[in-house]
Structure formats: structure tokens, C-alpha cells
């Protein structure tokens, strides 16, 4: 662990941001508990996300169960393809993620996109050893390991279920109902903030790679032929883009506006470009250092099979770039899969402005011909003919047409198919939406914000550690102190504390130790403002308000203090303007 990682871990445990779960029983790798400061910080990040990506964008929000039946994940493909590469040490038995071992020990940056065989060859070529005991791993099998946690639903053997590995499937599987709530009007978005679970082979780096984590995901359903994003809202937002081409040819991050990125074709999908433009100022809003931030495009070998394009928002923490958000185009893959497996309709009906006349191919097979010829398969042959007519009416141009049923080809005279073209009037059509997905890792963002906001300076000749958290995100808005707990100062400070709490402000009360030490305690957990009740307060009903970052202090009247602090928290008032 680097110096930055060590000091962040120490601060997080000592001040109650996060710590290893069940330490009294030895702890379990990959599980963390958020302490009093961390739970509130996490809640505030989620609230800021909900404000920007749900409320302001006009989307819906749902909350689905953490456990879902096996059929959902069979349809989504997670049962067959949600794997990481595993290699076991023959000496100590420790399990390791093979692609990470390769990336840590070589210049290979995308081992995840390689085959297990290729990764095994790199382990042997570079003499990579077990990090736990030092024994060589060359020749050990590299195998696929499914990351889902399995459980049973109901008593006894019950039915198979799984802890969800992403919150997205809880949205996709309910699409028919959600489309009704949206009145079948595209585009519409559905968001969810919730926990997901992945049985990681080798959890590491604090909150970066864990087995239980929180996602904030948005699934935006659009008509791929017609719906366009409001690019004008974000056209001038500057994006730090690290394209696949730059990665492959030794290029660097380019600073382009959203408009320039679309015009040059660097970001090919306008909806992805739009959400990159929406997200960029939001990251800065929650405390991400934009000098340690970039958008990295997935290389061809990294892309999910359903994704035409994907960009990761990456932050530099502890010497590494970590993925904090994925912005992906999922096309209609998920809806098509659930429609296929469930038999339900995963489309919306798009009403035309006016009915239109269209030519439609039809098939009315002569069963007196098909029956004797194909016996029990005649009905399936007829269905196959109808399906072929919809897909490829030109196939009926000859004397015969061939269809396949259960891997057997059946040839039918065209005159026996009853093929024809008829004109029908249609009032609309069924459209299966495509999906644009911004998926945020909340824990990784919390970890990033703590790392990026960690500051040190000198105050009165002494080194000070503080978290320069944006006031909106800070776990506590204001610390309230009596200068001394005597002569009525404590009672007056308690009155101020109660008044501020009643106004909805997050308040910490502290009367222990020297006033300087109390300031330092609040600085270290990121409290942006402190209020001190002193002897002047008893005379003129004012208090001292201190700013965390500058350490400047100003006298402010108690009357109106809650409103003043709310304005400072919300950014409507600058401390210098008090």
C-alpha cells in the first residue's frame, strides 16, 4: 500500500468513515462497514446523484430486491458469462485473480480482455509468483470463476436464486410495467440506488474492489431511430477524453468540449456524449479533483458483447486509475433477452401522427398439402414460413421456398404457401428501445472524494490535516462549541445547537479540550464551518463563525444564523461575503 493509501485507511478507521466488517471475528476480505462519518458522506453523495441524474433529468426511480430468481440471470447471461480468471497457488492454496497478477507484474494493461490460456502463458513467461508465499505459478491452470453469490428462495431446497451482481437487471426485468408508468412514451429513464454483490477473487484497495457495494444506475430507454439528446445543454462542457485510439498509439488525454467530441467523432454516440457532459460538473460538485480525472474509452477487447461503445470515468487514487463510472450503450440486448426467455412483450407501441397504408407480406399455407408432406411437423413448417415472410419476403420469388425446423430443411412449393402482399392500415408500430446506461460505483466515489479532498497545511506553525469536502457533501455542516463550559456559555451553546438542528442542519457539539483541538477534530472529518459561543455572545448575541479551508473567522448574529449557514452550505453565499 502506498503512503496515500495508508494514511487514507488510517484516517477512515480512526474517524469513522469505513472499516473492515466483523473485525472481532477476524474480518472478511471485501466487506466494509461505513462508520458514522462515512455513512453520512455516502448518503450525501447519493443525494447529490439523485438530485442531478433523477430529479433534474425528470427520470423515475425504483427499488428492487437484492435477491432474484435464477431465471432472471439465465436470461441476462450472468449465469454463463459473469466470470473472472482464477489461479490457485499450489503451495499455500491462496486464490488470485490471474489477469490482475499479470497487469501488476508486466506492462500489459488489458489482461482482462485476454483468454485464460493467454493469461496463463504470460504468468509463465514472466515467472509470476504467488503474492502470498512466493511460489511460482507457471503451469498452474487459469480458470473462469463465476462471481455471483448463490442462495435458495424458500424453505428446504427451495428454488435457486442469486444476489444481484448489478442493480440494472431489477430495472430491465420490470420494463413492461415501467413502460406503462411512462405512458409508453420514449425516451424515459429509470434509476436505482442499491447494493450489488460480487464474489471477488481477490478484494483489495479498501473500497475499490469489494464483495458488497452500492451502485447508482440509470437506464435510459430511447428510440434509436428518432430520439436525440438535448446536446445544447452541455455542448460547451469540456471533457478529458482518453480514446481507444490514443491508448493504442501512445496518445494522451485530449481536452474537448462535448460539441467538439461529437463533431470529430471521438465520442460516437450522442447520448453517451450528453451524459459525459452532465456528469463532468457533477464530479467536481462532489469533490473530485478534476486534475486527477479522465474519461477512458474501452478498447475493442474490453467491450461487452452487447456494447457498441463504452467510456469509463476514471479517478487517480493511490497511484492507480480506478473506474468510478461506466457509460455504456447496451442496445436492446437486455430487453430482447428477457422477452425471449419470459415470453412477455418488452417493447412500446409508438403511435403515428396519422394512420399510414403499408404493404405487408402474408402467408396462408395450404395445410392439405403440408399435412401429408410433413406430418406432425406441418404446423411448425407453417409457422416457419410466416416468420420467413416477415424477415425476407424475397425468398418467395421462386418456385420453391425452404425453411428449417429443428435443424431439418423442408422445401415447400410457393403456390402451397399462400404467399401474397396485402395493403393494411397501421396506426403505429412496436419499438424495442435501446438503453443508455451510466452506472456509478458509490463506494469508489466516496473513496475518491476522501483521497482527493485530503489536505495538509500549516496553521500557527503546526501542521494541520483536513478534508476539503464540499459543504453539500460533508457529513457535518457545522460544529458548535462553547469557548468554555462555564458561566452559562455551555447552556447558550446548547441552545444554538438545538436551533441549528431544528433548521435541518447536521451539527456536531463539542466542549472537550482546548478550542484549537476541537477545530482540528472537525477539520479532519471535513466539517466546513464551526460556531463558537464566547463571552461576547452573552452581551451582543453574536457568535464566531470559522471557515474550515481558510481558517478565517467572522462575527455573525445568532438571529438568522440557521439561514446563513444553509446559504453557505448550498453555495448561495460565500464566506468572504459574510
> pLDDT for 248-287, tens place per residue?
999 999 999 999 999 999 999 999 999 999 999 999 999 9
Helix pair angle (270-286, 36-50), 10° resolution: 140
Res 109: pLDDT = 78
| Interatomic CA distance for residues 147 and 437, integer angstroms | 21
**Residue tagged 474480518 (cell numbers):** 27
| Interatomic CA distance for residues 550 and 46, integer angstroms | 28
Q: Which of 295-299, 420-424, 568-572 has the lowest mean pLDDT?
A: 420-424
Q: Which CATH architecture has domain 358-431?
A: 2-Layer Sandwich (3.30)
The class that CATH gives domain 3-62+168-332+437-442 is: alpha beta
Res 130: pLDDT = 95
Which residues lie below 8 Å from residue 482, measured CB to CB, with a gap of 6+? 489, 490, 492, 493, 511, 532, 533
**Residue ranges covered by each domain of the chain:** 3-62+168-332+437-442, 358-431, 465-577
Q: What is the pLDDT of residues 454-506, one digit of tens each?
A: 999 999 889 999 999 999 999 999 999 999 989 999 999 999 999 999 999 99
How much is the average pLDDT of 112-125? 92
Res 421: pLDDT = 92
> Would you say 38 and 446 are in contact if contact means Cβ atoms under 8 Å apart?
yes
CA torsion sign for 258, 53, 39, 151 is negative
Res 156: pLDDT = 78
End-to-end CA distance of the chain: 43
Q: What is the pLDDT of residues 124-145, one digit of tens each?
A: 999 999 999 999 999 999 999 9
Q: Is pLDDT of 157 > 80?
A: no
Q: What is the mean pLDDT of the chain?
A: 94
What residues form DSSP beta bridges with 120?
none
Q: What percent of the chain has pLDDT over 70?
A: 100
Rounded to two decimals, what is the model's pTM?
0.87
How much is the average pLDDT of 217-221? 98
Res 357: pLDDT = 85
**H or E segment to which residue 358 belongs:** strand 348-362
Q: How far is CA 541 from CA 121, 175, 388, 553, in A?
A: 75, 58, 85, 16
How much is the average pLDDT of 169-180? 97
Res 354: pLDDT = 83
Task: From 520, 529, 506, select the one nearest 14 (Cα to Cα).
Answer: 520
Q: Is pLDDT of 526 > 90?
A: yes
Res 448: pLDDT = 97
| Interatomic CA distance for residues 478 and 558, integer angstroms | 14
Q: Is 446 left (phi over 0), alpha (psi -120 to 50) or beta?
A: alpha
| Interatomic CA distance for residues 446 and 49, integer angstroms | 12
Confidence of residue 190 (pLDDT cuts 50, 70, 90): very high
Res 502: pLDDT = 98
Res 1: pLDDT = 65
Convert 469-513 into a string of H (helix), E (strand) and C (coil).
CCCCCCCCCEEEEECCCCCCHHHHHHHHHHHHHHCCCCEEECCCC
Which residues lie below 8 Å from residue 225, measured CB to CB, with a gap of 6+? 431
Give the cell for residue 179: 413502460
Confidence of residue 335 (pLDDT cuts 50, 70, 90): very high
Res 494: pLDDT = 97
Res 112: pLDDT = 84
Res 451: pLDDT = 96
Give the CA radius of gyration of the chain.
30
> Would you say 428 and 349 are in contact if contact means Cβ atoms under 8 Å apart?
yes
User: What CATH homologous superfamily does 465-577 map to?
Assistant: Anticodon-binding domain (3.40.50.800)
Which residues lie below 8 Å from residue 263, measured CB to CB, with a gap of 6+? none
Amino acid at each position: 500500500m502506498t503512503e496515500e493509501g495508508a494514511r487514507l485507511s488510517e484516517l477512515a478507521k480512526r474517524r469513522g468513515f469505513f472499516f473492515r466488517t466483523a473485525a472481532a471475528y477476524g474480518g472478511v476480505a471485501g466487506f466494509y462497514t461505513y462508520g458514522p462519518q462515512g455513512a453520512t458522506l455516502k448518503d450525501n453523495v447519493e443525494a447529490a446523484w439523485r438530485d442531478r441524474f433523477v430529479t433534474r433529468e425528470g427520470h423515475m426511480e425504483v427499488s428492487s430486491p437484492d435477491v432474484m430468481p435464477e431465471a432472471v440471470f439465465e436470461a441476462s447471461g450472468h449465469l454463463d458469462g459473469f466470470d473472472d480468471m482464477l489461479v490457485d497457488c499450489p503451495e499455500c492454496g491462496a486464490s488470485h485473480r490471474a489477469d490482475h497478477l499479470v497487469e501488476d507484474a508486466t506492462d500489459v494493461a488489458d489482461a482482462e480482455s485476454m483468454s485464460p490460456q493467454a493469461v496463463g502463458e504470460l504468468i509463465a513467461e514472466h515467472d509470476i509468483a504467488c503474492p502470498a508465499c512466493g511460489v511460482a505459478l507457471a503451469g498452474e491452470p487459469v480458470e473462469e470463476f463465476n462471481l455471483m453469490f448463490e442462495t435458495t428462495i424458500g424453505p428446504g431446497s427451495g428454488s435457486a436464486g442469486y444476489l444481484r451482481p448489478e442493480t440494472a437487471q431489477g430495472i430491465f426485468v420490470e420494463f413492461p410495467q415501467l413502460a406503462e408508468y411512462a405512458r409508453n412514451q420514449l425516451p424515459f429513464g429509470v434509476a436505482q440506488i442499491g447494493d450489488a454483490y460480487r464474489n471477488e477473487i481477490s478484494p483489495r484497495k479498501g473500497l475499490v474492489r469489494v464483495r458488497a457495494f452500492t451502485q447508482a444506475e440509470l437506464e435510459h430507454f430511447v428510440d434509436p431511430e428518432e430520439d436525440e439528446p438535448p446536446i445544447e445543454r452541455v455542448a460547451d462542457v469540456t471533457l478529458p477524453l482518453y480514446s481507444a485510439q490514443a491508448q493504442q498509439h501512445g496518445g494522451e488525454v485530449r481536452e474537448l468540449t462535448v460539441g467538439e467530441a461529437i463533431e470529430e467523432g471521438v465520442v460516437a454516440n450522442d447520448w453517451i456524449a450528453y451524459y459525459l457532459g452532465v456528469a463532468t460538473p457533477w464530479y467536481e460538485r462532489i469533490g473530485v479533483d478534476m486534475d486527477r480525472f479522465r474519461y477512458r474509452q474501452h478498447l475493442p477487447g474490453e467491450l461487452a458483447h452487447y456494447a457498441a461503445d463504452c467510456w469509463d470515468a476514471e479517478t487517480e487514487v493511490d497511484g492507480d486509475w480506478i473506474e468510478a463510472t461506466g457509460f455504456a450503450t447496451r442496445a436492446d440486448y437486455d430487453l430482447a433477452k428477457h422477452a425471449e426467455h419470459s415470453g412477455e412483450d418488452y417493447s412500446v407501441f409508438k403511435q403515428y401522427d396519422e394512420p399510414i397504408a403499408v404493404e405487408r407480406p402474408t402467408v396462408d399455407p395450404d395445410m392439405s398439402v403440408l399435412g401429408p408432406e410433413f406430418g406432425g411437423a406441418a404446423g411448425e413448417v407453417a409457422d416457419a414460413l410466416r416468420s420467413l415472410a416477415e424477415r425476407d419476403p424475397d425468398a418467395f420469388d421462386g418456385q420453391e421456398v425452404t425453411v428449417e425446423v429443428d435443424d431439418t430443411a423442408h422445401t415447400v412449393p410457393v403456390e402451397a404457401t399462400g404467399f401474397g402482399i396485402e395493403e393494411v392500415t397501421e396506426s403505429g408500430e412496436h419499438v424495442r428501445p435501446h438503453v443508455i446506461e451510466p452506472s456509478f460505483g458509490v463506494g469508489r466515489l466516496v473513496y475518491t472524494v476522501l483521497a482527493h479532498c485530503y489536505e495538509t497545511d500549516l496553521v500557527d506553525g503546526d501542521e494541520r490535516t483536513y478534508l476539503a469536502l464540499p459543504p453539500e457533501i460533508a457529513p457535518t455542516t457545522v460544529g458548535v462549541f462553547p469557548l468554555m463550559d462555564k458561566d452559562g456559555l455551555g447552556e447558550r451553546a446548547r441552545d444554538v445547537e438545538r436551533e441549528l438542528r431544528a433548521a435541518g442542519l447536521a451539527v456536531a457539539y463539542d466542549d472537550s479540550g482546548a478550542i484549537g483541538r476541537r477545530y482540528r477534530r472537525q477539520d479532519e472529518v471535513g466539517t466546513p464551518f464551526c460556531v463558537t459561543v464566547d463571552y461576547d455572545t452573552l452581551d451582543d448575541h453574536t457568535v464566531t463563525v470559522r471557515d474550515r479551508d481558510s481558517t478565517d473567522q467572522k462575527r455573525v448574529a445568532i438571529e438568522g444564523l440557521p439561514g446563513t449557514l444553509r446559504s453557505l452550505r448550498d453555495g448561495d453565499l460565500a464566506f468572504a461575503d459574510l
